[in-house]
Amino acid sequence: MAAKILDGEAFATRLHRETSARVAKLKARGTVPGLVFIRVGEDPASRAYVSRKEKRAQEVGISSRTLVLPASTPLHSLLKEIDALNADPKVHGILIQSPLPPALPNDLVYAHVSPAKDVDGFHPVNFGKLLLGDPTGFLPCTPAGILEILRLGEIPTAGKHAVVVGRGQIVGRPLALLLARKGPGADCTVTLAHSRTAHLSEITRQADILVAALGRPLFLQQEHVKPGATVIDVGVNRLADPADPRGYRLVGDVDFASVRSVAGAITPNPGGVGPMTIALLLSNTARAAEDFSR
């Protein structure tokens, strides 16, 4: 029996409706939520992704714009732009689009955004609140989106063994913390694995919930998955494909074709985690505006 498809597009549409209603209430009180994307350089994938985010923001009623800076922008100039946005009362959310040029230190740039406007959840203050279980911080959008997929997909989590493959600070580590939290939508026993984990397939086959977030195309195969497990594919990878006009196609970290025949539920890719990441970004922006207007 084929796996249940966890349709991120459909789930995201539900969240967008909720965010749109919140935005309408804010506007009725005189507050228009504002979101600014900062893109440094002309990376084609970043350009397309920011455009998609901005379109969704406008659809739910959030005022959004993109500040585009040349790849040669020095650090002090970028930080000055962030300072201006931090001080602007019409801007409630600031998102630094990755990747940044190599000369710009990611950690320093992310930490310069006001924690109250860090709707991506990357500021050390917000990450610290996540670690402490403090609900006043912003959660990083992709891990929070995965929790929403599990909730809306009616996937039980309490007492389940979750294996997260990938230890990055954007997805793997924060997601492991969130799944292990006490409360609804969590209460998992969590194993955080990675590409150098010995006997990886033996560990992943123990997972009731298996998350692939290591950035390796089609890495997880059928033999990595326990029958009936829920599989969440976070990866976005380019795979050479002469038949595609672009010369490549986008694939996840999971071999969807083989894994769906053994999994109990699975996210498609594209159409799974990506739309939910954007949905949580917009939800965070609405919340930032709500906090500001109180």
Residues with a known catalytic role: 53, 97, 120
Whether a cis peptide bond, with omega within 30° of 0, leads into 99 is: yes
Q: Are 232 and 212 in contact (CB under 8 A)?
A: yes
Q: Which helix (H) or strand (E) holds 151?
A: helix 141-152
Q: What is the DSSP string of 40-100?
A: ES--HHHHHHHHHHHHHHHHTT-EEEEEEE-TT--HHHHHHHHHHHHH-TT--EEEEPSPP
Lookup: tokens for 144: 């929070």
Distance CA 220, CA 216 (A): 9
Q: At 157, is the secondary structure helix, strand, or coil?
A: coil
CA dihedral 184→189→193→197, nearest 10 degrees, is: -170
Secondary structure in 3-state letters for 194-257: CCCCCCHHHHHCCCCEEEECCCCCCCECHHHCCCCCEEEECCCEEEECCCCCCCEEEECCECHH
Q: Are 8 and 271 in contact (CB under 8 A)?
A: yes
Q: At 106, is the secondary structure helix, strand, or coil?
A: helix
- Torsions phi, psi for 286 (to 5 deg): -60, -40
